[in-house]
């Protein structure tokens, strides 16, 4: 029996804020389903050239009071990036908190507007430790 990965789904409270967050990571909207009868939108976002591995943003038009305030039970999404320092700097300049800085030049964690943990991993070998990341402490949890 063969299995193929399709996508990861996360529920979102503010579709536009969450889309903007994933766009900062370099993802693009690849598909959208607006269901008038069910009153929800499904927005699929993926990295260019990696459309087979999307994240599905599920937005309920009438709100989702059942959505937990902290999505730690979910785990995290992970993305490989070309330069982890440049990505973290870009995110930080756009208002994203770097929860676990890339002190090791290899791994960092941030959170989406819906508290979804996102792991960033350096492509290839770890970069040499560099400031301000090497001495930056953790913020919150991931």
134 occurs within a structural domain: no
Q: φ, ψ for residue 19 (rounded to 5)? A: -60, -45
Let me know if residue 32 belongs to a domain: yes
Per the structure, the complete domain to which residue 78 belongs is given by 8-62+69-122
User: Has residue 137 been placed in a domain?
Assistant: no
Residue 81 resides in a domain: yes
Q: Tell me, what CATH number does 109's domain have?
A: 3.10.180.10
Region 125-129: mean pLDDT is 97
Residue 111 lies in a domain: yes
User: Quick one: pLDDT band at residue 64, thresholds 50, 70, 90?
Assistant: confident
Per-residue pLDDT, 79 = 92
Where in the sequence numbering do the catalytic residues fall? 119
Inside any domain, residue 29? yes
- What was the pLDDT predicted at 63? 83
What confidence tier does 76 reach under pLDDT thresholds 50, 70, 90? confident
pLDDT at 68 over 60: no
| pTM across the whole model | 0.81
Buried b (16+ CB within 10 A) or exposed e, 75-100: eebebebeebbebbeebeeeebebbb
| 79 in a structural domain | yes
Q: Where are the strands (E) in 1-142, listed by range?
A: 8-12, 28-35, 40-46, 55-60, 76-81, 98-100, 107-111, 117-122
How many domains, in total, are found in the chain? 1
Q: Kindly state whether residue 141 falls inside one of the protein's structural domains.
A: no
């Amino acid at each position: 029996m063969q299995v193929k990965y399709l996508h990861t789904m996360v529920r979102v409270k503010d579709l536009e804020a969450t889309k903007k967050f994933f766009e900062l990571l370099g993802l693009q909207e690849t598909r959208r389903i607006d269901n008038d009868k069910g009153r929800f939108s499904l927005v699929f976002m993926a990295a260019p050239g990696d459309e087979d591995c999307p994240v599905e943003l599920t937005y309920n038009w009438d709100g989702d009071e059942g959505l937990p305030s902290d999505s730690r039970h979910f785990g995290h999404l992970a993305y490989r990036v070309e330069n982890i320092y440049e990505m973290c700097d870009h995110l930080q300049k756009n208002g994203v908190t770097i929860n676990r800085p890339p002190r090791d030049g290899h791994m960092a964690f941030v959170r989406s507007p819906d508290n979804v943990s996102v792991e960033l991993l350096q492509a290839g070998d770890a970069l040499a430790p560099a400031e301000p990341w090497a001495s930056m402490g953790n913020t919150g949890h991931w």
